[in-house]
Structure 1
Amino acid sequence: MSKHKPKLILVYEPEKACFDRLLADGFPPQRATEISSYLAQSTDIAADFAALAAACSARGLAFAPVALDDAGEALERADAENTLVWTLSDGIAYFRGGAAPALARLKGLRTIGADDSLFALCQDKFRSGAVLGALGLPVPQAGLARDGKWLVEPPASAAGWFVKPNRLGAKIGIWPDSRVGDLGHALQLSRRVFAAYRDDVVVQPYVAGRNVRASFLGLTPQTGTEALGVAFVDSGADFQTMADSMALYGETGEEAKAAGLYAEPQLVAVADVQPLADARIRAIAGRLIGGLGLRDVFSVDLRVEADDTVHMIEFEVCPGLPCFDFRDYCRKQWGLELADAMAATAASRLTSQRRYG
């Protein structure tokens, strides 16, 4: 029997490491800043490291935050029987976090979250949309364009279309004109996205409704969709742009707060306003757990219309844990601050016999 103290390793990719790689790859500094800002939770969660260490210690665990570039060595030394790996930031294109769960599997280490195949799938919105559609989930059908040329033409839409990058934080529209009324404009946006970010664009029929975030953290392996937190996220805008995103999180978020430009969106429980929509979203989450393999920690972004029609937009295997909405979820659902909720989840896995393959 191993004598090592059970340990939670939190693997994260720092903004600065990503920024430096993007510069080396030829991205201009402004674009590198924008792209690396998607790793803001790695910056924001650093303020919680001391609380995480204390919360883990209170439950008999050691805690080790590990930057992604150091993960290979850290996981090589880890004791497979008593180590749990939690990957904070994902990515297969601009970001590299998807390597962490694959490396953990290679080393025979237990993990929190979905298996590494879903880390790749969720970052390619066109492919993930096809899989979600095959599972019967209510995702808008999509076209795909690259640098002004259609790879797959989008369906007709009387309400117009929404254009978003395929692999770069893809629920946002980048620019305020990302909702378009003609497909010529969509192709123009695909040229702008390709020139700025070297990415394809997904072009979907525009769907009306309010933005909803469904958050999940399973404090025990038996936790089900009853623990899902489903909330309207009302920011006053129809959709989030790159500028909106950068004003909320990370280093750029701190600058926005200092300049008085930060406005935290309001959260309203969907069940309090549209209980039928809430029930439909929980059924969607159940399908994602049973049919796709989501587990432990994830989020789902949706649009909900006034008649309770639900449109699923995307899922995330690495939700923004230190973000305002996930912290709010931990308090309301579990009565815990983020650090204690994470430590309790890790302890329940390390003390159970369940192993993830």
Structure 2
Amino acid sequence: MLQPTLILVYEPEKACLARLSADGYPADRALEISSYLAQSTDLAPEFDLLAAACEKRGLAFKPVELDDAAPVLAKADPTTLVWTLTDGIAYFRGGASPALARLNGLRTIGADDSLFALCQDKFRCGAVLGALGLPMPQAGLARNGEWLLEPPASPKGWFVKPNRLGAKIGIWPDSRIADLGHALELSRRVFSHYRDDVVVQPYVAGRNVRASFLGLKPETGVEALGIFFVDSGGDFQTMADSMALYGETGQAAKDAGTYVEPELEAVGASQPEADRKIRAIAQKLISGLGLKDVFSVDFRVEADDAVHLIEFEVCPGLPCFDFRDYCRREWGMNLADAMAQTAASRLRS
């Protein structure tokens, strides 16, 4: 009898760094870009814990680097479940993993491959989310100093971020702007550094919120969302802020005693109406867009309970402080046990 197997496909930072360097990116830019894959670096030391957690539940565990995934998945038997740790369609290539799983008739954890592509293109994603009636800020799009689409007027100014790179962050402290000429200057800088367009959205005030979800059981619904204010002391996260939390840079900060995690505070404790709105938005993302199993959604929440949807992620940072905290609070498990239990419940459903 075949033993069910959980295959975790991940793209290592070093493999991405080497590929970007070979493609002509300067060393410092390639390092910045590859740092978004730090969750692979952070989770790798726990592969033995994951294997033990899976074994307790009658599963085999097999971590597979993305460059090796095609032949491994082609040979996998039907009892295999594929969990893709890292996404990407541009600088990163993890979006190929669920497509390969589908090609080989294998079951997967998470959204289908079409959403892996959509969520990595902020402009297209925003158009889809707006069409669903969700509270997503409208966006303009610029490339190397030229407007492809001008953003709407905004009395509070605008926020500029790369279209396909990473998450919701602005790259630099001046990513919040007061005039659109500065937006075009930033688009030149982004294009020069990262070869990417920029999304220019009206600035929305409020506190940063992360909603995390892991469907430990197939029937799990939005009641299991963990919805928390994430306060890091700044209005928004920059590239430097992100690099300081994860991967080798984050580990160096821990070793030096300078590592500081942002504070987490349950939204429902102080703003229950905002919590309710966020759960309703998440339900629409599940039913209307197809999010499932494991995801996160980022918001800005104002003091009057106005909620602004910023983005969703189909590959949330599982080893990050906020997702670990969510697993402990919601499921009473460490990350390895939560992942193994989720896989076991899917393979037996």
Aligned to 2:105: 108
* Alignment partner of 1:94 out of 91, 96, 100: 91
Q: Which residue identity does 2:21 align to in structure 1?
A: L
Q: Which range is displaced more, 330-339 or 248-257?
A: 248-257
Is 2:60 aligned against 1:27? Answer: no
Aligned to 1:251: 248
Q: Which range is displaced more, 253-262 or 286-295?
A: 253-262
- Classify the secondary structure of the residue corresponding to 1:213: strand
- Classify the secondary structure of the residue corresponding to 1:320: coil
| Structure 1 residue ranges (4+ consecutive) displaced by more than 6 angstroms after TM superposition | none
* Alignment partner of 1:161 out of 134, 155, 158: 158
Conserved in 2, the CA contact under 8 Å of 1:193 and 1:199? Answer: yes
Query: Which structure 2 residues correspond to residues 1-20 of structure 1 after superposition, within 5 A?
Result: 3-20=1-18
**Considering only aligned residues, what root-mean-square deviation do their CA atoms show, in Å?**
0.7
Aligned to 2:310: 313
Conserved in 2, the CA contact under 8 Å of 1:173 and 1:239? Answer: yes
Q: Which residue identity does 2:152 align to in structure 1?
A: P
C-alpha displacement at 1:258, in angstroms? 3.2
Is 2:338 aligned against 1:341? Answer: yes
* Alignment partner of 2:46 out of 45, 48, 53: 48
Q: Name the CA distance, whole Å, in 2 between partners of 1:22 and 1:256.
A: 25
Aligned to 2:198: 201
- Classify the secondary structure of the residue corresponding to 2:174: coil
Conserved in 2, the CA contact under 8 Å of 1:247 and 1:261? Answer: no
Query: CA deviation digits over 1:140-164, x for unaligned, max 9?
Result: 0000000000001000000000000
Q: Name the CA distance, whole Å, in 1 between partners of 2:157 and 2:313.
A: 26
Segments of 5+ residues of structure 1 without an aligned counterpart are 353-357
Q: Which residue identity does 2:324 align to in structure 1?
A: R
C-alpha displacement at 1:257, in angstroms? 2.7
Aligned to 1:231: 228
* Alignment partner of 2:281 out of 269, 281, 284: 284
C-alpha displacement at 1:214, in angstroms? 0.1
Conserved in 2, the CA contact under 8 Å of 1:85 and 1:112? Answer: yes
C-alpha displacement at 1:12, in angstroms? 0.1
Aligned to 1:74: 72
C-alpha displacement at 1:260, in angstroms? 4.0
C-alpha displacement at 1:263, in angstroms? 1.2
Conserved in 2, the CA contact under 8 Å of 1:210 and 1:234? Answer: yes
Q: Which residue identity does 1:158 align to in structure 2?
A: P
Query: CA deviation digits over 1:20-76, x for unaligned, max 9?
Result: 000000001100000000000000001211111011000000000000011111111
- Classify the secondary structure of the residue corresponding to 1:189: helix
Aligned to 1:355: none
Aligned to 1:125: 122
Identity %: 79
Q: Name the CA distance, whole Å, in 2 between partners of 1:202 and 1:170.
A: 12
Aligned to 2:218: 221
* Alignment partner of 2:182 out of 176, 182, 185: 185
Conserved in 2, the CA contact under 8 Å of 1:162 and 1:204? Answer: yes
